[in-house]
Amino acid sequence: MALAQWAGTTPGGCLTSDLSLLVAEARGAHRLSDAIDGFGAIEANAAFGVIEPSVIVLLDSALEKFFESDALADRIVVLVPPALAPEDDRRKDPPTRSFLASREVFQKARLADFPPEDWCYRALQWAVAGPQLAARVDVVHKPPAAALAARPGSCEAVLSHRGPERYLRVCVDSLLRQSQPTRVTIGVDQKYNCRRLLAETADNPAVSAYQVGPPPLGPFVALHVLSHVAQADFVLRQDSDDVSLRHRLRTLIATAEAAGAGVVGSHEIQLHEIERKVVPVRYPLDVSAALRRSGPGHQTLLPTTVARKAVFELVGGFSTHRIFGLDVAFWLTASLYAKIVNVDDFLYLRRRRASSLTQRPDLGNYSAIRTIYRNLRRDDFKAIVAGRMRLEDSSLAVHHRASPVMFRNLRTGQARQVTLDRRETYGDTP
């Protein structure tokens, strides 16, 4: 298929020579256009998109995904150029501008106000702005493979939330839309009690919410306690401002069963609000092997993972004495007990925003304090693996804050005081 160029009429001027407009009437009936009369070609067809040369080979797969259900209303398919997963550490690939979307997205996301090279970012930003998902989002980066059928196994998604409620609402909405059901349990680490979410889910027994205090405690207090009292076979992690793609849970659990893994993650697609780009991030598929070869790095991202409850108990849960970095300590310790893998799929949409903890100058990813703990964690892990240090004597051991915390059920008002190093105080959820 020859690649055509398209000169657009948007405020951003002409498209660059490596972008084309795609319009599609139906599955298998599509064309790349080199010119349009205003936006008539978009409004006259079922789907439109911006396509880069590197994803031309994926067009048929992307259109199949887009048209797989005529019942779907608005939908967006992001195309990521094919590439092998890295072997030893995560890899940020070049941003993608390629996508397909239903024609209504053009109007609803007000794409005419932006240059076409920004449309992919703007469409995704609109889709996940909240309070619910405005469109179904999928990612295509390779020809379709036979889907794994998840075996029976219950799952509970455990979230810790601090920040705008609209992010939490769209996060929970993405979990409730999963192709395999899950319970959702939320620890709210702030005074505002998310009343809109509570009202929306008042009749849904699969959603529970607790206020944790005194705030702010950081994310790991809620994650530690609520994961321990979860009654499911698997515990799903997700940051409360991110989005799960529809088949994430089914794929992760099926892979855990097929691979005999204790923790399973995936690639992520970053909605980078600071740089206004859509960035694919790939992870090694065999995390355990990558750790043996290269030592601790960024072999997996805990918020993308599902963990067997039995592995969570073996690790002892999360430390709670700091507000950062303890997720990495958890999965490094888990690797001592169980196999960890990532699936070769983009199943997680991660919002990168300026106000997040990882972007703070004092505690963010590139802060001095994080560097100190990162180096200590790396050295201790290597010493444990080599037999020079016991886990319980290392920085990876589970450590808790000394003062008790309160958990208040936001539906019933019942409260319980919990001493973090005494499991008998956890009870059932309040």
pLDDT digits (tens, 9 = 90+) for 315-342: 999 999 998 889 999 999 999 999 999 9
When pLDDT is averaged across residues 4-31 and rounded to a whole number, the result is 59
- Whether residues 195 and 78 share a domain: the answer is no
- How does residue 366 score in pLDDT terms, banded at 50, 70 and 90? low
Whether 33 has a pLDDT exceeding 80, the answer reads no
Q: Which residue has the higher pLDDT, 146 or 57?
A: 57
Place 42 in a pLDDT band, splitting at 50, 70 and 90.
Answer: confident
* 42, 119: one domain: yes
Cβ–Cβ under 8 Å, residues 159 and 184:
yes
Q: Are residues 71 and 160 in the same domain?
A: no
- What is the chain's mean pLDDT, rounded? 89
- What CATH code is carried by the domain that includes residue 306? 3.90.550.10
**Residue 404, domain member (yes or no):** no
pLDDT of the residue at 72:
59
Instruction: State which residues form the domain around 338.
Output: 155-393
For residues 347-366, give the mean pLDDT. 75
Tell me which residue of 113, 304, 310, 290 sits closest to 230, measured CA to CA. 310
Q: How many domains does the chain have?
A: 2
* 159 in the same domain as 132: no
Q: Which residue has the higher pLDDT, 429 or 85?
A: 85
Final residue belonging to a domain, choices 140, 174, 204 = 140
CB-facing half-sphere around the CA of 363: CA atoms within 13 A = 10
Does 177 lie in the same domain as 130? no
Other CB atoms within a 10 A radius of the CB of residue 27 amount to 16
Whether residue 214 has a cis bond before it, omega within 30° of 0: yes
175 in the same domain as 45: no
Whether 338 contacts 311, CB under 8 Å: yes
The stretch 9-31 carries a mean pLDDT of 64
H/E run at residue 263: strand 263-272
**In terms of C-beta density within 10 A (0-12 exposed, 13-18 middle, 19 or more buried), how is residue 195 classed?**
exposed
pLDDT of residue 325: 86
Mean of pLDDT values over 398-407: 96
pLDDT in tens, 177-190: 999 999 999 999 99
Q: How far is CA 392 from the centre of its chain?
A: 31
Q: What's the mean pLDDT in 18-29? A: 79
Evaluate whether residue 422 is within a structural domain. Answer: no
How many helices and strands, by DSSP H and E, does the chain display?
Answer: 12, 18
Q: What is the pLDDT of residues 52-80, one digit of tens each?
A: 999 999 999 999 999 887 565 899 999 99
Say yes or no: 121 and 98 in one domain.
yes
Res 12 pLDDT > 60: no
Percent of the chain with pLDDT over 90: 76
Could you tell me if 194 and 105 lie in one domain?
Answer: no
Question: Do 262 and 303 have their domain in common?
Answer: yes
Question: pLDDT tier at 267 (50, 70, 90 boundaries)?
Answer: very high
Element spanning 147, H or E: none
